[in-house]
A and B are shown apart, each in its own frame.
Chain A
Amino acid sequence: MFGLNRSDTLLLIFVALLTMLAPFFLNPFPEGSSLAQFNGGYPDLMQRFVIFGIFAIGFNILFGLTGYLSFGHAAFLGIGSYAAIWMMKLLTMNVIPAIILSVIVAGVFSLFVGYISLRRSGIYFSILTLAFAQMSYALAYSVLTPITGGETGLQPKLSDPRILDTMLGGGGDATRANLFGLEMGKSWQMDWNGWVFTFNTGYYVAAVVMLIAFYLSIRIFRSPFGLMLRAIKTNQNRLNYTGVNTKPYTLAAFVISGMYAGLAGGLLVAMDTQVGPERMFWTASGEVVLMTILGGVGTLIGPVLGAGLIKYMENILSKINEGLLETWFAFMPDTAGDVVVTVLALFTGKGWHLTLGLIFMLVVVFLPGGLVGGLVQGGRRMFRSRDGKATRETKSNQTPPTSTPAE
């Protein structure tokens, strides 16, 4: 189907079901129950899942396929966001032009950065991309304030021109993004025996975009172009010696992943119609690296899982405070309950970074291929369907063989 082989089609269908039914299975606990805290099915978080999923998928095309570790991808996300918000301010609150422009602008900027940075490789490349991103951040924060709004960032205002909206009769709310009149923030709630499921327009728009992005990334992974990129990762020197000019391939991969980042940035703006320079800070670039490695570098679904896990922890774990823990462990004897609460309080609420750090360490130490690598290995150990050779291959390449469906 769609030019994919059987396992890839299954994977695509799996991801499609996952995203379309997310409002159901991300809300497994009834509203009002003590575990409702763990429900991730509210619109804001679900939007972040898919948008950062797109960001990580794009990053994986560069890092997973070519092995070039960019430490400045947040710059493209930020620039996409700024482009989108200007489109909303000047032309229309419809999200389509905003997203298209954000992809184009991020693509042009990544062409510029990539053209310069790809003259070096290894850590020198990483530092060059980092330098460009930090420069964009610093400039957006200070000198470029007329364009970027400086520290406060940008938001659509009632006084903005919005040429197209005015021409068409000033339709729609001036400060809410819409898709041909369908408001992004609009949600429908379904109440069923105490379970509440929320369906949000913005989430489904972002989810459809993510499915397209995911499909494109499968096609890129399976194309001759993707094979070429893998060859660059394996041994760039040998390619150069055989007379292949690798620069156009790496540059194309860089621009594609920059456009994915711009797309994610545009979508972020389409959801919450605001942007600030902190989106381009190096920690944001580091976050996408961590998402990709955590999920599994070079695997198709890994980055999406990594993005989901990190965003889930960031939003759910940080909400659990000591008072809540006390209600959970109220059934225990006082002293024991206190001990448990004190220990758990270290890892939740404001201390959720500690859990994040520990998970990074544990995953890297025990699951070298990330979550997907671990799943594939675990599955193989369960079924023993492959010989030892394939397992060794996985270990040395950090990527599972191409034929496994879990990829």
Chain B
Amino acid sequence: MDAILLQILNGLDKGSAYALIALGLTLIFGTLGVVNFAHGALFMIGAFCAVVLARIMNYSRVVIDETRTDFLGNPMKIEVPYLHDWFGPATGQTMIEWSVPLAILFSIPVMWFVGYAMERGLIRHFYKRPHADQILVTFGLAIVLQEIVKHFFGANPIQTPAPPAFSGSFDVGAMLGFDPNVIIYPYWRLIYFAFAAVIIGAVFAFLQFTTFGMVVRAGMADRETVGLLGIDIDKRFTTMFAIAACVAGLAGVMYAPINAPNYHMGMDFLVLSFVVVVVGGMGSLAGAVLAGFMLGILESIASMAQVIEYLPGINQIVIYLVAIIILLTRPRGLLGRKGVMEE
């Protein structure tokens, strides 16, 4: 029982990442009707926003400390970040340690700009083109973005630690009445889950309770009629693309401490996110979120030693197996609408 609970918790953070990426993909697909293969790259750019901010904040000047010497006997060189100069050592150090949460603020304008530029510059010319063309051009874009990042940051993963305040673990088991030290869960993963829940809630609330969201939902249902009513729906859809880019970017920023960012992390998530979107049902936002969490949790339950003993290799294939079973029993995924992407 406690082992299963632990695996469910372990599945939550991966499930949150799947859910956030799939939510963005579905937003883009539902509004613009575009299959965006560059969405994984947006996730990756988000993670590198955290890396960039950490680097900027660590930007330092070199001070020579005459009182100490290094192992060669020369005076020791100490790097003092400029933040220490500006805000005092204590505040400056705290800011550096909190670079990942601060990167949330930094990444929103960046991702907004990237998303906006992508939609205006490239994607808008592909609304009327076949899905195969959309896939190819966004895939090409993903490769280009990935190579650019690789050029500047190298091919190795870059460690981006969470603030030390959250680096410990949290004894969930003791709280729920199990033996202590059985179910231990890192704080940061808990935060990631809470963060994902907030973002998902915010996106839904935005679509449900604002006038802008209402218009967008109307446009998703019937684009032409909304256009006939004198609303510039394209403009709103561009905004939705930027929002979807921000969602993917934020998912990436917060994921950086869990998994050190490297240039191909987007591609690694992309295929699974597509499976998630399709299992949830094309065009269904709730389905994407549901399927994201479901597949994330199933994946980590399947990697339990007891399960692998009976079904060897199941941890590698469980997501695809579940996807096949769901698609065969529920033709449009869990919550899919009729007539979307079936031609």
B129 at the interface (CB under 8 A from A): yes
Q: Closest Cβ of chain A: how far from B130's Cβ, in Å?
A: 6
A357 touches B327 (CB 8 A): no
Q: Which of B100-108, B187-195, B235-243, B310-318 contacts A (4 or more CB under 8 A)?
A: B310-318
- Given A122-B341, A130-B271, A365-B137; A135-B143 close (CB under 8 Å): no
Contact mask for chain B residues 88-126; partner A; CB cutoff 8 A; 1 contact, 0 none? 000000000000000000000000000000000010010
Q: A residues within 8 A CB of B133? A: 293, 364, 368
Q: How far is the CA of A116 from the CA of B328 in the complex (A)?
A: 8
Query: Given the known A-B contacts A131-B320, A361-B141, A364-B140, are A143 and B132 also in contact in the complex, defined by CB atoms under 8 Å?
Result: no
Within 8 Å CB of A119, what residues of B?
A: 328
Residue of A nearest to B336 (CB): A124
A284 to chain B, nearest CB (A): 13
The digit string for A259-282, where 1 denotes a CB below 8 A from any CB of B, is 000000000000000000000001
Asked whether, in the complex, the Cβ of A360 is within 8 Å of the Cβ of B328, the reply is no
Known contacts: A356-B143, A398-B130. The answer to whether A365 contacts B341 by CB under 8 A is no
Q: Does A351 contact B (CB under 8 A)?
A: yes
- Judge if A69 is at the interface, Cβ distance under 8 Å: yes
Residue B343 at the chain A interface, CB threshold 8 Å: yes
Identify the closest chain A residue to B148 (Cβ). Answer: A354
Q: Roughly how many angstroms separate A123 CA and B146 CA in the complex, as a whole number? A: 25
With A121-B342, A122-B342: A360-B137 Cβ-Cβ less than 8 Å = yes
Number of interface residues of B (CB under 8 A): 44
B141: chain A residues within 8 A (beta carbon): 357, 361
Are A290 and B313 in contact (CB-based, < 8 A)?
no
When the two chains form their complex, are residues A357 and B143 in contact, meaning their CB atoms are under 8 A apart?
yes
Interface residues of B in 287-343 (CB under 8 A from A): 312-313, 316-317, 320-321, 323-324, 327-328, 331-333, 341-343
Chain A at the B interface: mostly helix, strand, loop or mixed?
Answer: helix
**B19 contacts chain A at the CB level, 8 A cutoff:** no
**Do residues B316 and A368 form an inter-chain contact, with CB atoms below 8 A?**
no
The 8 Å CB contact of B317, one of A121, A134, A351, A354, is A134
Interface-facing stretch out of B164-172, B222-230, B246-254, B274-282: B274-282
Q: Are B129 and A368 in contact (CB under 8 A)?
A: yes
In the bound complex, what is the Cα–Cα distance between A283 and B312 (angstroms)?
Answer: 25
Question: By the criterion CB–CB under 8 Å, are B147 and A123 in contact?
Answer: no
Check if B313 sits within 8 Å of A138, measured CB to CB. yes
Query: Contact at A123–B282, with CB atoms within 8 Å?
Result: yes
Q: Which residues of A contact B125 (CB under 8 A)?
A: 365
- The one of B146, B317, B324 in contact with A128, judged by C-beta atoms closer than 8 angstroms, is B324
CB proximity of B19 to chain A, nearest CB, Å: 17
At the interface, yes or no: B198 with Cβ under 8 Å from chain A?
no
B174 located at the interface, meaning its Cβ lies under 8 Å from any Cβ of chain A in the complex: no
A368 contact set on B, CB distance < 8 A: 129, 133
**Cβ of B147 and Cβ of A353 under 8 Å apart?**
yes
Task: Kindly list chain A residues whose C-beta atoms are within 8 Å of the C-beta of B343.
Answer: 121-122, 236
Question: Does A358 interact with chain B (Cβ within 8 Å)?
Answer: yes
**8 A-B pairs, CB-CB below 8 angstroms?**
A127-B279, A130-B275, A236-B343, A354-B143, A357-B146, A359-B140, A360-B136, A360-B140
Q: 7 tightest CB-CB pairs across the interface, nearest first?
A: A360-B140, A357-B143, A143-B313, A138-B316, A131-B320, A354-B147, A357-B144
| Chain A interface residues (CB < 8 Å from chain B) | 63, 69, 116, 119-124, 127-128, 130-132, 134-135, 138-139, 141-144, 236, 282-283, 286, 289-290, 293-294, 297, 346, 351, 353-354, 356-361, 364-365, 368, 398
